[in-house]
Amino acid sequence: MLAFSVVAEQGSFRGAAGRLGLSPSALSHAIRRLEDQLGSALLHRTTRSVAPTEAGARFLRILQPALNDIDRALLDLADTSGRIAGHVRINAHRNGAELLVLPKLGALQKEHPKITLELSVDEGLTDIVAAGYDMGIRIGERLAEDMIAVRLSPDHRTAVVAAPSYLEEMGTPDTPADLQQHRCIGYRFVTSGRLFVWRFAEGDREFETNFEPSLIVDDVQMSQRAAALGLGLAFVPRDAVEDQLEAGGLVEVLRRWSVTMPGDFLYYPSRRTLSPAARTVIDHLRKRSD
C-alpha cells in the first residue's frame, strides 16, 4: 500500500522505485499483487505516465491518512526506543549544504548514529520528487507546488567583495555605476541559463546594474574563490564570506548600496509520508546553531 501511495504521488514507477529502493519491475509486481487482492485496477499505465484510476484515487484518499497515522506511530515508537534509523537524501545548493547542514551533523550523529545522511550539492532547480530526494534546500520560499517550506535562515544581506590585491591594482568602486570600469565575476543559473542580475538600493529605491562580466561561473563558491584570487569583484551573500572578510582575504565594497535577499528554506512534498529518520533530520536542521 505504501508502494502504491508513492507511485501515485510521483506518477512514475522509475521515480517511485528509486524512492523505495526497489527495481521498477519488482515495484510493478507489488502493485499488480495489490490490485489482484483488491479486485480493482488502481493505476492507469501508459508509456509516458502513471495516474490513479477513479477507484485508485478513492483508495488513496482513504489510505493516506492511515499511512500518516502509521508514520506518527513509528516515530513515537522510535522516540521512546531511541533507535531512529534510516537513509535520508537531501538536495541543497552549496552554501546551504556548507552553512546550514554540515555544522549541525555532529549533534545529529551523536544522538542518532543509525541515520545515514546523503547530501547532494546542486546549484540547479532539481525536481526532488522525481530524483528521489526526501527534501531540498533553496533560497526563497516560492518553491514547487505541493511543497512544505520551512525557513532555515534569516534573509541574506548582499555584499560586493574583492581581494585586497585587486583593489590595489584597480581601485575601489565608489558607486554601482563604477562597475562598468571593473572586472566583475558573473553567475549563471544552472537551470534557466540566465545571468544573475546585481541589485543595489539607494534609499527606498532598488535598481539593477548593467556590465559585461569578465568571468562567468555557475557555482557560488567558485565566484567567492575567484574573487579571493584577485580575478574581480563578486556579488555574494555576506554571511557566506564572513570568515574571509574577518581574516582580510576579502574586502567588502559598496556596502551602503547593499540589499537583502530571501533566506534559505528547507522544503519537502506535502503529500509524502515522511520516515522517522527524515522527520528527525528536519527537526535538527530547524534548530538554531549555538
Q: Are 139 and 115 in contact (CB under 8 A)?
A: no
pLDDT-based confidence at residue 164 (cuts at 50, 70, 90): very high
DSSP string of 165-224? HHHHHH---SSGGGGGGS-EEEEB-TTT-PBPPPEEEETTEEEE-----SEEES-HHHHH
Average pLDDT, the chain: 86
pLDDT at 221 (0 to 100): 87
Q: pLDDT at residue 139 above 90?
A: no
Look up the pTM and report it: 0.62
- Residue 21: the pLDDT is 67
Per-residue pLDDT reduced to its tens digit, 255-289: 999 999 888 899 887 655 677 888 889 988 987 54
Please say whether the beta carbons of 43 and 53 come within 8 A.
Answer: yes
In one letter, which amino acid is 192? Answer: S
AA letter at 135: M
Q: What is the mean pLDDT of residues 66-93?
A: 75
Domain 156-261 top-level CATH class: alpha beta
Q: Say which residue, 75 or 95, is predicted with more confidence.
A: 95
- Residue labelled with grid coordinates 508513492: 6
Answer for the pair 143, 265: CB distance below 8 angstroms, yes or no: yes
In the sheet with 264-269, reading across from the earlier edge strand, the strands are: 115-121, 86-92, 135-139, 264-269, 147-151
pLDDT in tens, 165-221: 999 999 999 999 999 999 999 999 887 888 999 999 988 889 999 899 999 999 888
Average the pLDDT over each of 16-25, 96-105, 108-117, 164-173 and give the range with the smallest value.
16-25
**Residue 210 burial class via C-beta count within 10 angstroms: exposed 0-12, middle 13-18, buried 19 and up:** exposed
CATH of 84-153+264-286, picked from 1.10.3720.10, 3.30.365.10, 3.40.190.10, 3.40.50.12280, is: 3.40.190.10
Question: pLDDT digits over 4-28, tens only?
Answer: 888 887 788 877 777 676 778 888 8
Residue 253 pairs in a beta bridge with: 160
Confidence of residue 70 (pLDDT cuts 50, 70, 90): confident
Least confident of 24-33, 65-74, 233-242: 65-74
With contact defined as beta carbons under 8 Å apart, do 275 and 86 qualify? yes
Torsion of CA 209, 165, 95, 120, to 10 degrees: 110
Domain map (residue ranges) of the chain: 2-79, 84-153+264-286, 156-261
For the ranges 21-30, 47-56, 65-74, 113-122, the lowest mean pLDDT is seen at 65-74
pLDDT band at 235 (very low <50, low <70, confident <90, very high): very high
Which residue type, as a one-letter code, is found at position 265? F
Identify the top-confidence range among 47-56, 82-91, 200-209, 245-254: 245-254
- Structure confidence at residue 290 (pLDDT): 38
What is the pLDDT, as a whole number, of residue 289? 45
Q: For residue 217, list its beta bridge partners.
A: 187
* pLDDT at residue 103 in the model: 92
Sequential DSSP letters for 110-169: HH-TTEEEEEEE-SS---TTTTT-SEEEEESS--STTEEEEE-SPPEEEEEEE-HHHHHH
Q: Do domains 84-153+264-286 and 156-261 have the same CATH topology?
A: yes
CATH of span 2-79: 1.10.10.10
Q: What distance in Å separates the CA atoms of residue 20 and residue 29, rounded to the nearest whole number? A: 14
Q: Is the pLDDT of residue 76 over 70?
A: no
